[in-house]
Amino acid sequence: MRKIYASRETEEQAKKTPNKIVSVYSFFPIDKSDCACVKLIQEWQKRLGIASIQERKRLLEQTPFITCPRDKTGMTRFQIMCGRCNHRQGYLWATDATLIDWCDFHYTQWTRGDYWRGCFTPHVSPVTEQLCLECCCGNDTRDFRANMTLPQHIAERKERENRIGRHFNQPDSKFIVQPA
């Protein structure tokens, strides 16, 4: 199992909480490029970017997280669990457990101040707009076909490895989808 260690600040924060755990629920939803929340996210990013430190802190305290405004009629809220370590990766809305028509994904992660567990890198495929995840344990379905930063042979190797188990609600899925 791979370990991504928490910062000293996070370790101190965990010590001060009643349950000795720091939990993260993403502020912004992860979504497809044509979703109604894209403009909302851009407005919030601009608002937070120009706010003073005190104003930003106040805004974040008053707004626990941004919810996608898309109409979710006929959709079910699901949670995604890692098939390897069984840690929750996050929550989203979809019409069924294949997650083909999904929106409003919020990742989750947690630490006791030692190392992180849960979703490390949520990613929307630039090719298919499918949700792809990387768990802190190393379980990974991210799409590297459009990567321009890695050397081509590494991106191709990662893509071959990550393609296996990428689709949700299949017998070989790396991540398990359950109603929340």
Q: What is the pLDDT of residues 24-50, one digit of tens each?
A: 999 999 999 999 899 999 999 999 999
**154: in domain:** yes
**46: in domain:** no
**49: in domain:** no
Cα–Cα distance measured from residue 156 to residue 149, given in angstroms and rounded to the nearest whole number:
12
Question: By residue range, what is the domain housing residue 103?
Answer: 8-26+70-179
**115: in domain:** yes
**79: in domain:** yes
Spell out a b/e string for 37-50, using b for 16 or more CB atoms within 10 Å of the CB, else e. beebbeebeeeeee
Sign of CA dihedral 144, 84, 93, 10: negative
**126: in domain:** yes
pLDDT at position 1 over 80: no
Whether 88 contacts 80, CB under 8 Å:
yes
Whether 157 contacts 163, CB under 8 Å:
no
pLDDT tens-digit series, residues 64-113: 899 999 999 999 999 999 999 999 999 999 999 999 999 999 999 999 99
Cα–Cα distance measured from residue 110 to residue 6, given in angstroms and rounded to the nearest whole number:
10
Mean pLDDT of the 115-128 span: 94
Cα–Cα distance measured from residue 77 to residue 93, given in angstroms and rounded to the nearest whole number:
4
Whether 100 contacts 86, CB under 8 Å:
no
**82: in domain:** yes
Cα–Cα distance measured from residue 139 to residue 49, given in angstroms and rounded to the nearest whole number:
33
**What is the tally of structural domains in the chain?**
1
**61: in domain:** no
